[in-house]
Structure 1
Amino acid sequence: MASIKAIAAKIFAAQVFRKTQKWAQNPVVSQQKVFASLISDAKNTRFGKDHQFGQIKTHQDFVKNVPIRDYEELRPYVDEVVNGEPDVLWPGKPLYFAKTSGTTSGAKYIPLTRASMPFHIQAARDAILHYIHETGNAGFVDGKMIFLQGSPELEEKNGVSLGRLSGIVAHYVPKYLQKNRLPSWETNCIDDWETKVDAIVAETLRENMTVISGIPSWVQMYFEKLNQKTGKPVGELFPNFNLFIYGGVNFEPYRARFENLIGRKVDSIELFPASEGFFAYQDSQKEKGMLLLLDAGIFYEFVKSDAFFTENPRRYTIGEVELGVNYVLIISTNAGLWAYNIGDTVQFTSLKPYRVVVSGRIKHYISAFGEHVIGKEVESALQEAMESTEIRVNEFTVAPQINPISGLPYHEWFIEFENEPADMDALAQKVDNAMRKQNTYYDDLISGNVLRTLVITKVPKNGFQEYMKSIGKLGGQNKIPRLSNDRTIAEALGNLKI
């Protein structure tokens, strides 16, 4: 017998589904409305005046007036906002700054405004409601839900609250979920990740957990600790656990290990959130990719990644994109980011409606020899090589070895195995063959004897966790890059003792 809460969730899910269909079936019009609204709302800001927003009527006008920028290039404006100046990038002052770790710039401060904040909350909710509408499964709303995230404790900077995005979002949990939500506020505020996970294990061990959410690598750590403490699979501890929600990285390399730790398969929902905006969520269990949110205060542009570093590359809008092409995602938002390069690359899996997969990072690639290998390619190659085997991988990353002690250069794969293959060379050959199918440039380099077959280097158990801990990025929203064009990570992992 379904509970009143579950019945209400199904009714609400049907309403949200109908609302989504309206904009999803009119994608170009939806984006034109967002574009016109953003330009109109920001025309009297400092940025709007500097870039003649009052004269922008078309996308061509926008391209002419507003160049693509990353954080460093937009930073002079952001610094003014952080210093307390109003009406710089968006009318008024932000509600929050989401603090993220930068590369060259140290900490980055991404504004969240009164206009943008509701969409971060709404998108996560709607992803779950689409799942309920499609599957009819709503029983989980009566159980306990856990969201592994950063601390909700906020600081203040010139009158604006500051924290990690996941911590900020924790303040917006709807009342009807408050009683169902774990961990407790006190546990969520623990800074040290290992201590926090131990506390979460203690709090959840005897609860009726139905939904578990977080970045796969850190949820895996939670599952392993549950397993170590009880000797039981997670699915036996939590018999009603049937939904895993994740974002940030591709789940496929983790799936086999998760099913082993859980003891059975569970449904999953993929999300594509970032401090800069909530871009997409998986709207169907049957279709590949995530529904791109075209009516959520974000105007999207797309630049083909192989042209991105050329002068004035073409900026495509939603009606001009093609299936299977690797695009750098450029956003303009109601938080005041304009033609902003977030660093992610996407590929479209469907144009009716528009669905995407995250294919990698424009800065995370290997092109030491002109091969331009991206994250999606290494993930797919490893996945293909492990099919129909018992091999399970906890984590991996790839780097070029340009100056080997002997022989030709190669790509070095650092892999932490849960259970390793009997024949490592055979696995390396399988992965290499799969890579050659994924990337024609790589294939040419192998067949032309510029590169030799890739080399797999074993990383000791928990080696990736040790590395992340050593650079102060253990847990929360932090992720290991799938690949790098240098050997910074490779050298750190190579120094770990097996």
Structure 2
Amino acid sequence: MSFKSFAAKLFADYIYAKTQKWAQNPVETQQKVFRELIEKAVNTDFGRDHNFTDIKSFEDFARRVPIRDYEQLKSYVDEVVKGKENVLWPGKPLYFAKTSGTTSGAKYIPLTKESMPYHIEAARDAILHYIHETRNSDFVDGKMIFLQGSPELDEKNGVKLGRLSGIVAHYVPKYLQRNRMPSWETNIIDDWETKVDAIVEETINEDMSVISGIPSWVQMYFEKLREKAGKPVGEVFKNFNLFIYGGVNYEPYRAKFEDLIGRKVDSIELFPASEGFFAYQDSQAEKGMLLLLNSGIFYEFVKANEFFEDNPRRYTIGEVEIGINYVLILSTNAGLWAYNIGDTIQFTSTKPYRVIVSGRIKHYISAFGEHVIGKEVEEALKEAMQDTNVRVNEFTVAPQINPEHGLPYHEWFIEFENEPTDLQGFSEKIDDAMRKQNVYYDDLIAGNVLRKVVITKVPKSGFDNYMKSIGKLGGQNKLPRLSNDRKIADELKS
């Protein structure tokens, strides 16, 4: 065992013990975060506009500060982007994380000197919890690759600007710098396919032990690597035993990954976003990710089925229940207040509080009142693939409201790596799994309002070509699992 590996175990035990202190006192921890946020921002423009001086409790806050998304908070963010100080948070932010916008184009999410350390520490602590639990730390001596956006930063009115993953790249600890790949020159390549080709060339002869990134883009790297090497990834990198991912559910990709690698490897799930680092998988044995209650973020939760009502009830951490679909609402030490990030989560545990990401509040299908969410379609596909050699590269689902013949249906667009021998039987397995999970969908099928799932096969690289056509191939971009309209579906059909 190397000194670095030994030291990693000691540090992992220290961080685990430190985490337990706040994880075992969740309500008190969140109350402390809440008070600190209000006190810190009381003299900002936002704090004055919402009478922070009079806020003594969460109930006061909920009365004064409505839930907002980016578009509704944009007037404040625009002032920050122009260079004004003390708008949403004291002073100026350190960075703007630039993300894809909706109606207003690019979004600029502030990162402050208070919020930035938590982005770095959370990723570190996820790995340390893995070491604490498994006692496996040998991988720290190997090379590590992080598939991410370019670390090159622009500047806007004195504030540096870039993709979150590119910003975070500047904070890799010195003790990891020698192990980290790809090189700066490769990392700043803009074109994603060119970049992946360069990463393959740079890493193919290295001792890679940890690989991290969004599964769909790591899959492209693995495919190119296997093609060039002529053997599975696990033979190319004999010491590769840990995959770290976030952004999308790994389960639809797991079987394909194990084929590409040639064996199973451990994985750690992360839940990061430009707005904050919310959770990480703290145990290989437990379902869900530990919600980070001590990281400068105060959480609220709104039941997803009530979210679009007038004045839905806003729950705090001590009031949530396991298995309910909640919209995640944030107030942060980067100056976001009662902010709707758009993600929905479900709690898998309340001792400690662990969550899974169940989907997006805007990514659902309810064309007929069925309220289908991302978690349900992912589980249905996983169940249909069980005990088969079917492998799926990518998929998305949309309603077909006006078919040329017969009843409406849900259309599943699937890019297969290995196709089922009986496509109709496979679609029926998916449909059965959907009916078991979603009582509304079951009623619609039983009542002959909908017919069963219809699968449309997407040719190889079809989804990559679609993402390329809209300028979103690679980086942090993800294909929506669900759409309540036919926009993506019609593009794929054409």
Normalising by structure 2, what TM-score?
1.00
Partner deviation per Cα, 1:129-150 (whole Å, 9 max, x = no partner): 0000000000000000000000
CA distance in 2, matches of 1:30, 1:486: 41
The residue aligned with 1:228 is 227
Following superposition of structure 1 onto structure 2, how do residues 328-477 of structure 1 map, counting pairs within 5 Å? 328-477=327-476
Q: CA deviation at 1:68?
A: 0.1
The residue aligned with 2:292 is 293
Instruction: For residue 295 of structure 1, give the secondary structure of its aligned residue in structure 2.
Output: coil
Q: CA deviation at 1:102?
A: 1.0
The residue aligned with 2:480 is 481
CA distance in 1, matches of 2:328, 2:295: 16
CA distance in 2, matches of 1:333, 1:226: 40
Q: CA deviation at 1:230?
A: 1.2
Residue type at the aligned position of 1:432: D
Is 1:107 the counterpart of 2:117 in the alignment?
no
CA distance in 2, matches of 1:10, 1:428: 47
The residue aligned with 1:124 is 123
Instruction: For residue 224 of structure 1, give the secondary structure of its aligned residue in structure 2.
Output: helix
The residue aligned with 2:196 is 197
CA distance in 1, matches of 2:489, 2:200: 32
The residue aligned with 1:45 is 44
Instruction: For residue 259 of structure 1, give the secondary structure of its aligned residue in structure 2.
Output: helix
Q: CA deviation at 1:231?
A: 1.1
Is 1:149 the counterpart of 2:120 in the alignment?
no
The residue aligned with 1:158 is 157
Partner deviation per Cα, 1:366-424 (whole Å, 9 max, x = no partner): 00001110000000011111111110100000000000001000000000000101111
Is 1:282 the counterpart of 2:271 in the alignment?
no
Instruction: For residue 308 of structure 2, give the secondary structure of its aligned residue in structure 1.
Output: coil
Residue type at the aligned position of 1:240: N
Residue type at the aligned position of 1:153: E
Residue type at the aligned position of 1:425: Q
The residue aligned with 1:11 is 10
The residue aligned with 1:216 is 215
Instruction: For residue 132 of structure 2, give the secondary structure of its aligned residue in structure 1.
Output: helix
Residue type at the aligned position of 1:214: G
Q: CA deviation at 1:105?
A: 1.6
Q: CA deviation at 1:180?
A: 0.2
Residue type at the aligned position of 1:356: V
Q: CA deviation at 1:127?
A: 0.2
CA distance in 2, matches of 1:213, 1:136: 20
CA distance in 1, matches of 2:231, 2:299: 46
CA distance in 2, matches of 1:325, 1:250: 18
Q: Paired residues, what number? A: 494
CA distance in 2, matches of 1:343, 1:473: 19
Partner deviation per Cα, 1:284-305 (whole Å, 9 max, x = no partner): 0000000000000000000000
Q: CA deviation at 1:161?
A: 0.3
Partner deviation per Cα, 1:319-369 (whole Å, 9 max, x = no partner): 000000000000000000000000000000000000000000000000000
CA distance in 2, matches of 1:370, 1:126: 41
Residue type at the aligned position of 2:266: D
CA distance in 1, matches of 2:296, 2:183: 32
The residue aligned with 2:260 is 261
CA distance in 1, matches of 2:285, 2:422: 36
CA distance in 2, matches of 1:201, 1:169: 22
CA distance in 1, matches of 2:428, 2:102: 34
Instruction: For residue 77 of structure 1, give the secondary structure of its aligned residue in structure 2.
Output: helix
CA distance in 1, matches of 2:389, 2:188: 39
Residue type at the aligned position of 1:145: M
CA distance in 1, matches of 2:354, 2:361: 20
Q: CA deviation at 1:228?
A: 0.7
CA distance in 1, matches of 2:391, 2:270: 24
Instruction: For residue 43 of structure 2, give the secondary structure of its aligned residue in structure 1.
Output: coil
CA distance in 2, matches of 1:292, 1:255: 24
CA distance in 1, matches of 2:110, 2:467: 26
Q: CA deviation at 1:167?
A: 0.2
Runs (5+) with no aligned partner, structure 1: none
Q: CA deviation at 1:116?
A: 0.2
Instruction: For residue 410 of structure 2, give the secondary structure of its aligned residue in structure 1.
Output: strand
The residue aligned with 1:70 is 69
Is 1:139 the counterpart of 2:138 in the alignment?
yes
Q: CA deviation at 1:249?
A: 0.3
Q: CA deviation at 1:103?
A: 1.4
Q: CA deviation at 1:482?
A: 0.3
The residue aligned with 1:80 is 79
Q: CA deviation at 1:37?
A: 0.1
CA distance in 2, matches of 1:196, 1:190: 5
CA distance in 2, matches of 1:3, 1:215: 30
CA distance in 1, matches of 2:188, 2:229: 25
Q: CA deviation at 1:104?
A: 1.3
Runs (5+) with no aligned partner, structure 2: none
CA distance in 1, matches of 2:448, 2:391: 31
Instruction: For residue 175 of structure 2, give the secondary structure of its aligned residue in structure 1.
Output: helix
Residue type at the aligned position of 2:126: A
Is 1:34 the counterpart of 2:1 in the alignment?
no
CA distance in 2, matches of 1:141, 1:388: 35
The residue aligned with 2:174 is 175
Partner deviation per Cα, 1:4-45 (whole Å, 9 max, x = no partner): 000000000000000000000000000000000000000000
Instruction: For residue 313 of structure 1, give the secondary structure of its aligned residue in structure 2.
Output: coil
CA distance in 2, matches of 1:355, 1:215: 21
Instruction: For residue 90 of structure 1, give the secondary structure of its aligned residue in structure 2.
Output: coil
Partner deviation per Cα, 1:194-222 (whole Å, 9 max, x = no partner): 00000000000000000000000000000
Q: CA deviation at 1:265?
A: 0.2
CA distance in 2, matches of 1:63, 1:96: 28
Residue type at the aligned position of 2:307: F
